[in-house]
Amino acid sequence: MVLFLFDLVHSLRLLVLNITRVGGILLGNFRYRNQEMNESGFRSYFREHNSEFTLLEPLATYESAAAARELTENLLKEHPDLCGLFVSGGGITGALSALRSSQKRDDFVAVGYELFDETRSALIDGTLTMVISHPMETFARETITTLIKAKKAGADAGAQRVALGFEIHTSENV
């Protein structure tokens, strides 16, 4: 647990302390509310902890690995000061491919969204620094529980809200 926390703090510190540097953001689609909220939360973190850090406008991959690869390659080429990349949404496998093809840098932090075989491998080989994900079993269980509550409460009961946490994965805890 101590190593995990150290790695997480170290990763975020690398991004935050790179004052004159730039970070990129890839989204699957601007119309997906969850991806928009992920980007908003990411930006909020930097507003709070390092307002001098420049986050580029998000680029849409349209859930395409090929588009994500091309966008990542272009970001790396056009912004030699790029020190981080946040990929929220589809296309992460293309972004990972581009990052693996580029020269590895110790000061580069890559953050992905949702843990699956490809992101797990990228954590292990160092391509990704961390992955933020939803606990899918909890998500499924809470969805069903909330649907049952809503049905029992009837149409006049109003909206049912459930706040779910998230998990942070690094190479040390996968």
Three-state secondary structure of the chain: CHHHHHHHHHHHHHHHHCCCCEEEEEECCCCCHHHHHHHHHHHHHHHHHCCCCEECCCEECCCCHHHHHHHHHHHHHHCCCEEEEEEECCCHHHHHHHHHHCCCCCCCEEEEECCCHHHHHHHHHCCCCEEEECCHHHHHHHHHHHHHHHHHHCHHHCCCCCCCCCEEECCCCC
pTM: 0.81
Look at residue 11 in the predicted model and tell me its pLDDT.
56
Q: Environment class of residue 173 by beta-carbon count within 10 Å: exposed (0-12), middle (13-18) or buried (19+)?
A: middle
Measured CA to CA, the distance from residue 161 to residue 13 in angstroms comes to 33
CB burial string 97-110: b at 16+ within 10 A, e below: bbbeeeeeeeebbb
**Sign of the torsion formed by the C-alpha atoms of 47, 50, 53 and 55:** negative
Look at residue 89 in the predicted model and tell me its pLDDT.
85
pLDDT in tens, the chain (174 residues): 334 444 555 555 555 554 457 899 999 888 888 888 888 888 888 888 887 788 999 999 999 999 999 999 999 999 998 999 999 988 999 999 999 999 988 889 999 999 999 999 999 999 999 999 989 899 999 999 999 998 898 888 788 888 888 899 999 999
Look at residue 165 in the predicted model and tell me its pLDDT.
87
